[in-house]
Copies of this chain bind each other. A is one copy, B any other.
Amino acid sequence: MSAEMRREQIAEAVWRVIRRDGIAATSVRTVADEAGMSTGSLRHFFATQSELLVFAMELVVLRVEKRIAAIEFDPDMRCAIRQFADQFVPLDDDRREEMQVSIAFAAAAQTDSALTAVRDRTDQVLFDHFRQFVAALQNDGFLRSDAVVDVEAMRLHAVVDGLAVQGVNDSQRVNPAAIAQVLDAHFASMFRANGSSD
């Protein structure tokens, strides 16, 4: 097994420890146990808990990017922006688990400067993507005439982040069908009605 694959397996062990016991429970020892390796071998890859957490947080982002790279985006930007937004809400178990881990990392980033840097970079990239999609919508004449690109990008980013948190916290009420309904209504509120000049 390559070193890169081994590192990914270790990161997945970090995620499992975080989901089960919380981020405070992650240490070189608990992660080594979870990954079925000795602390000595684990330290060969990650010397400290901090390195381990930064890598595990960055790998969440890489996984999402990989999923996005595999999407065949619809040429209609109204469909494409929805395909993109769908990657950041808990529509299936993989995404729900991803978001559980992300919530833990985001909270830890409030007081851990190495994680703050990862979080800030990630948030900025995500907002920039939303902004580009919204600008493309405007360019293609799909946005309501009174819409402001920056405001709509921030509003969409907020809805998506809020649904992610609520879909993790209360997966019964904020289930995949409800999430889809909320996104349907949200995009309808952004898009110009068919044939309308508004």
| A residues apposed to B, CB below 8 Å | 19-25, 100, 103-104, 106-112, 119-120, 123-124, 127, 146-148, 151-152, 154-155, 157-163, 165-166, 168-170, 173-174, 178, 181-182, 185-186, 188-190
Contacts and interface: CB of A to CB of B under 8 A. Distances in A.
Count copies of this chain in the complex: 2
Nearest to A178: B154
Contact of A166 (B20, B110, B123): B123
A158 B169 contact: no
A119 B158 CA distance: 20
A22 B103 contact: no
Contacts of A25: 111
A94 B10 CA distance: 40
A158 B159 contact: yes
Contacts of A23: 24, 107
A33 B168 CA distance: 35
Nearest to A17: B111
A119 B151 contact: no
Contact of A182 (B111, B154, B166, B174): B154
A22 B23 CA distance: 11
| Ranked 6 nearest A-B pairs via Cβ | A158-B162, A107-B107, A24-B24, A189-B189, A162-B162, A161-B162
Contacts of A111: 19-22, 25
Contacts of A24: 22-24
A146 B186 CA distance: 12
